[in-house]
Copies of this chain bind each other. A is one copy, B any other.
Amino acid sequence: MTHGSNELVAAADVTGEAVFGADDTRVGTIDRVMIDKVSGKVAYAVMSFGGVLGIGGDERPVPWDTLTYDTSLGGFRTSITEAQLNEAPRAESGWEQDRDFHDRTHTAYGTAPNFYV
Contacts and interface: CB of A to CB of B under 8 A. Distances in A.
Of the four ranges (under 10, 10 to 19, 20 to 34, 35 or more), the interface on chain A belongs to 35 or more
A23 interface: no
11 contacts: A4-B102, A4-B116, A7-B36, A8-B115, A10-B34, A10-B35, A10-B46, A11-B11, A12-B15, A40-B68, A42-B42
Interface string A74-117: 00100000000000000000101111111000000000000111
Residue among A2, A40, A71 with max Cβ neighbours from chain B (10 Å): A40
B2 A37 contact: no
Nearest to A69: B37
A55 interface: no
A52 interface: no
A18 interface: no
